[in-house]
Structure 1
Amino acid sequence: MRWWCWKRLLCASLLLLLLLWCLLLLARDVQKKWPVAGRFRLAPRGQLLAWPGLGAVQGVDFASLFAGSHASPRCDWGQVLLILVTSAPGNVEARHVIRRTWAAQEGQPPNRWQTVFLVGQAAEAEVARGVQREQQEFGDILVGNYKDTYRNLTLKVMHGLKWASKKCRPRYILKTDDDCFVNTDRLPAFLAEVNTVRTGLYVGSLFSQEKRQVIREPSSKWYVSRQDYHPDEYPPYASGIGYVLSLDVAEKILEAARRVRPIPVEDAYVGILAEEAGVRAKASARFAKHNVRWRVCNYRYLMVIHHLSPREQEAAWRRCRRGRAPAVAVRAASRPPAPGCRR
Structure 2
Amino acid sequence: MKSSKHHRSHAGKMKVIFIKLIGGPKVTIVFFLACGLFLLLSLIEKPGDIEPTSHGYRSRLIHHRAPSIGKLKVWSLEDYPLEKRVWRPSDYETDKPSPSCQLDKLLMVIVPSTPGQLDHRTAIRNTWGTLKKVKGPVYHQTVFVIGLPSDSQERASLLEESNKHKDVVFVNVADPYNNLSLNVQYGLYWAWTECKPSYLLKVPDDSFVNVKLLTNYLMANDRVCSKDLYVGRTQNSKEASRHPDKHKIAPEKATRGDFYPRYASGGGYLISGDVLEKMVSIAPYVPLLPVEDAYVGILAHLSGVNVIDSGRFTYYSDKWQICNYLYLMVIQGVSTDVQYLCLRYSEECSDVCAEQVSGRSGWE
| Structure 2 length-normalised TM | 0.71
Structure-2 separation of matches of 1:73 and 1:176: 18
**Residues of 1 paired with 2:164 and 2:285: CA distance?**
37
| Cα displacement string for residues 211-233 of structure 1 (whole angstroms, at most 9, x for unaligned residues) | x111223354499xx96232110
Determine what percentage of the aligned residue pairs are the same residue: 34
Deviation at 1:44, TM superposition (A): 10
State whether structure 2 residue 102 is matched by structure 1 residue 65. Answer: no
Comparing 262-271 and 317-326, the one that deviates more = 317-326
**Structure 1 position 89 matched with structure 2 position 115:** yes
Among 120, 133, 138, the residue aligned to 2:147:
120
8 Å CA contact retained: 1:111, 1:189: no
Q: Which residue of 2 aligns with 1:5?
A: none
Q: 1:142 — aligned with what?
A: 169
Note the 1:166-181 alignment, pairs <5 A.
Answer: 166-181=193-208
- 2:181 is equivalent to residue 154 of structure 1: yes
Superposition pairs of residues 254-333 of structure 1, within 5 angstroms? 254-325=280-351, 332=357
Contact 1:40 1:261 (C-alpha < 8 Å) held by counterparts: no
Does the CA-based 8 Å contact 1:288-1:305 persist in structure 2? Answer: yes
Deviations 1:12-70 (Å, cap 9, x if unpaired)?
Answer: xxxxxxxxxxxxxxxxxxxxx9989952279999xxxxxxxxxxx9533112121x210
For 1:92 and 1:161, locate their aligned partners in 2 and report how far apart those are by CA, in whole Å: 22
One-letter amino acid of the counterpart of residue 169, structure 1? K
Matched positions, count: 288
Contact 1:111 1:192 in 2 (8 A): no
Cα distance, 1:327 vs structure 2: 11
Counterpart in 1 of 2:77? Answer: 40
Q: Is 1:200 matched up with 2:228?
A: yes
Shift of 1:301: 0.6
Letter in 1 for 2:123: V
Quick one: distance in 1 between partners of 2:162 and 2:312? 31
**SS of residue in 2 equivalent to 1:241:** strand
Q: What is aligned with 1:99?
A: 125
CA distance in structure 1 between the partners assigned to 2:245 and 2:189 by the alignment: 31
User: Which moves more between the two structures, 270-279 or 214-223?
Assistant: 214-223
Structure 1 residue 124 displacement after superposition: 2.1
Query: Partner of 2:360 in structure 1?
Result: 335
TM-score, normalised with respect to structure 1: 0.75
For the 8 Å contact 1:200–1:246, the answer to whether it is kept is yes
8 Å contact from structure 1 (residues 88, 148) kept in 2:
no
Give the CA deviation at 1:89.
1.2
Distance 1:325 1:148, change over 3 A: farther
CA contact (8 A) 2:130 2:141 kept: no
Listed one character per residue, the Cα deviations across residues 251-282 of structure 1 (whole Å, up to 9, x for unaligned) are 10111112111111110000001111111111
Q: Distance in 2 between matches of 1:144 and 1:214?
A: 26
Q: CA 1:109/1:318 → structure 2, altered by over 3 Å: closer, same or farther? A: closer
* AA aligned opposite 1:83: V
Q: Is the 8 A contact 1:287 1:305 kept in 2?
A: yes
Name the SS of the counterpart of 1:86 in structure 2: strand
- Pairing 1:213–2:255 present: no
Q: Report how far residue 315 of structure 1 moved.
A: 1.9
Cα distance in 2 for partners of 1:127, 1:133 equals 10
Q: Rg bigger for which structure?
A: 2
Q: Secondary structure at the match of 1:258?
A: helix
Structure 1 segment 178-197 matched on structure 2, within 5 A = 178-195=205-222, 196-197=224-225
d(CA) in 1 for partners of 2:48 and 2:170? Answer: 37
Please list every run of 5 or more consecutive structure 2 residues that lacks an aligned counterpart in the other structure.
1-44, 51-75
> What residue in structure 2 maps to residue 22 of structure 1?
none
Letter in 2 for 1:40: L
Are the equivalent residues in 2 in contact too, given 1:186–1:333 (CA < 8 A)?
A: no
